[in-house]
Amino acid sequence: MPEARAGRKEKFATPTKAFSFPATPMATIAVLGTMDTKGEEHAFVANLIRERGHHVLVIDTGTLDAPKLKPDVTRIEVAAAAGVDFAAMIARKDRGEAVAAMAKGAPVVLSKLVEARRIDGVISLGGGGGTAIGTAAMRALPIGFPKLMVSTLASGNTAQYVGVKDIVMVPAVVDVAGINRISRQILSRAAGAICGMVECVPPPGEDKPIVVASMFGNTTECVQAAKKIIEAAGYEVLVFHATGTGGRAMESLIESSLVAGVLDITTTEWADELVGGILGAGPTRCEAAARHGVPAIVAPGCLDMVNFGAPETVPAKFAGRTFYQHNPQVTLMRTTPAECAELGRILAEKVNLSTAPVTVLLPQRAISVISAPGQKFHDPTADTALFNALKQGLRKDIEVVEMDCVINAPEFARACAEKLLANIARQPSMRPPV
């Protein structure tokens, strides 16, 4: 890492005038990958980065032949970060074990480099094994840190590689196997992209304490009204769409210790997780705030619905159930009283983990737009089963507020916002600056 970054100025011409502006100072970009099998390709990218005026820090995760590009962090060091003896591992000649070890060690190495401010971005190139290693390392880094993966797997489902982080996946198109007329274009653009990412530093903003909120189309009115009240109190509210990925991203941000409060109005992802819909957020949804001591409010928003795709995608076992066609691509299925009772039990179990102030709010007339009286999903028996199981399962010291209104009523939104602000106030370290 250089002692100081050297500034530079670039000029751009337009049809009418020329203008210039100071560019971002020189950065250091980590080039991470298997420097034996993909050494030539990583060297090509590294040279382009240097030509742009940035430094390169090479991290070798290869486990076969000698590296073709001299590393700054060796494969032995990466393996050691995973608690693995490299020589002993190589002697076993188990490719799967080697990839797993590098995928475990690379995140440790990269995280330490970021924490020490030795790197400003990371790029990696690879096939199956290289993508597994590179993206594992990138998922360990904070949101906003530049990370780019050129992968032969980028054209398919990349959820397992990206997770809930902002990893840019670039399709390799051809295999990462030499520099040719196709790879030359792809890798050149990728090098330019990571350079652009480290050069484009976001302008400083007002650092207000963060509140996160969960929202669905059926709870938008409630969340937006509560958001205005909380923002007026001095917080920045980040809203996450409760589509599985959104819930996981929100939980990840809560775990980062950057969040002062949680407005979890829309816990619908648990309906998909339990029943088998397409928008589940995993078995730890609703645990982050509870386990990390973050003040919260929780409501059963949209637990009346399970999400599927077009009608023909709904599993045959659900024939005869109550459905609502939200749009041509989304089919909603009403949860039954038995499912609602189990959802209430699960939600109580998650809330009971709380170590910070938490309040549960129940809108007794409707938990979504379409469960209100006269709507397709109106089912008082199912809602009562949900509410009763939730109340019965909660710890006695957890506050429950029952309101005779629908979830999108202005008074319910206000109650959610005011209860969250009160819970935050009971946790002095979470209060906004005066």
pLDDT at 20: 34
Nearest-angstrom CA–CA distance, 391 and 351: 11
Strand partners, 401: 361
Q: What is the pLDDT averaged over residues 101-124? A: 96
Q: What is the layout of strands, in order, in the sheet containing 323-327?
A: 305-308, 330-334, 323-327
**Per-residue pLDDT tens over the stretch 334-374:** 999 999 999 999 999 999 999 999 999 999 999 999 999 99
Q: Alpha helices, DSSP H only, in 14-61?
A: 39-51
Of the listed ranges 35-39, 95-99, 200-204, 266-270, the one predicted with least confidence: 200-204
Among residues 110, 123, 120, 137, the alpha carbon closest in space to that of 172 is found at 123
Q: Looking at per-residue confidence, does 109 or 11 come out higher?
A: 109
pLDDT, tens digit (0-9, with 9 covering 90-100), for 10-56 = 333 333 333 333 345 689 999 999 999 999 999 999 999 999 999 99
pLDDT value of residue 432: 54
How does residue 430 score in pLDDT terms, banded at 50, 70 and 90?
Answer: low
Token readout for 138 is: 């990138």
For residue 229, count other CB atoms closer than 10 A to its CB: 17
More confident residue, 331 or 8: 331
How far apart CA 271 and CA 302 sit, in angstroms, is: 8
Of all residues in the chain, the percent with pLDDT exceeding 90 is 81
Pairing of strands 259-264, 296-298: parallel
| Structure tokens, 136 | 């594992």
High-pLDDT (> 70) share of the chain, %: 92
Average pLDDT of span 405-426:
97
Please calculate the CA angle 13-14-15 and round it to the nearest 5 degrees: 130
What is the residue whose two structure tokens read 């005869």? 320
Give residue 328's pLDDT band: very low, low, confident or very high (50, 70, 90): confident
pLDDT value for 257: 84
Which residue matches tokens 């250089």? 2
Q: What amino acid occupies position 281? A: A
pLDDT mean over 151-161 = 87
Higher pLDDT, 164 or 10: 164
Task: Please name the residues in contact with 353: beta carbons below 8 A apart, sequence gap of 6 or more.
Answer: 287, 290, 291
- pLDDT at 4 exceeding the cut of 50: no
Stronger pLDDT, 433 or 63, i.e. the higher one: 63
* Pick from 190, 175, 111: nearest CA to 145: 111
Q: Strand 358-363's sheet: what is its strand order?
A: 236-241, 210-215, 259-264, 296-298, 358-363, 399-403
Per-residue H/E/C for 84-124:
CCHHHHHHHCCHHHHHHHHHHHHHHHHHHHHHCCCCCEEEE
pLDDT tens digits for 228-277?
Answer: 999 999 999 999 999 998 999 999 999 988 899 999 999 999 999 999 99
**pLDDT exceeds cutoff 80 at 196:** yes
What is the set of domains in the chain, with CATH numbers? Answer: 9-199 (3.40.50.12020), 210-425 (3.40.50.12030)
Q: What are phi and psi of 306, to 5 degrees?
A: -120, 135
**204 vs 59 pLDDT, higher one:** 59
Asked if 66 and 37 touch (Cβ cutoff 8 Å), the reply is no
On the question of pLDDT at 82 being above 60, the answer is yes
Say how many C-beta atoms besides its own lie within 10 A of residue 312's C-beta.
7
For CA atoms 252, 255, 260, 264, the dihedral sign is: positive
Alpha-carbon dihedral sign for residues 206, 212, 213, 214: positive
Q: What's the pLDDT score for residue 273?
A: 97
CA atoms within 13 A on the CB side of 23: 19
DSSP state for residue 217 in the 8-state scheme? G
- What secondary structure letter does DSSP report for 165? S
Q: Report pLDDT for 24.
A: 52
The two structure tokens encoding residue 269: 């992802």
Mean pLDDT of 207-226: 95
The reported pLDDT for the residue numbered 2 is: 37
Indicate whether 6 pLDDT > 80: no
Mean per-residue pLDDT, 161-179:
90
Please provide the average confidence, as pLDDT, over all residues in the chain: 91
Q: Which residues of 82-104 are buried (b: 16+ CB within 10 A; e: fewer)?
A: bebebeebbeeeeeeebbbbbbb
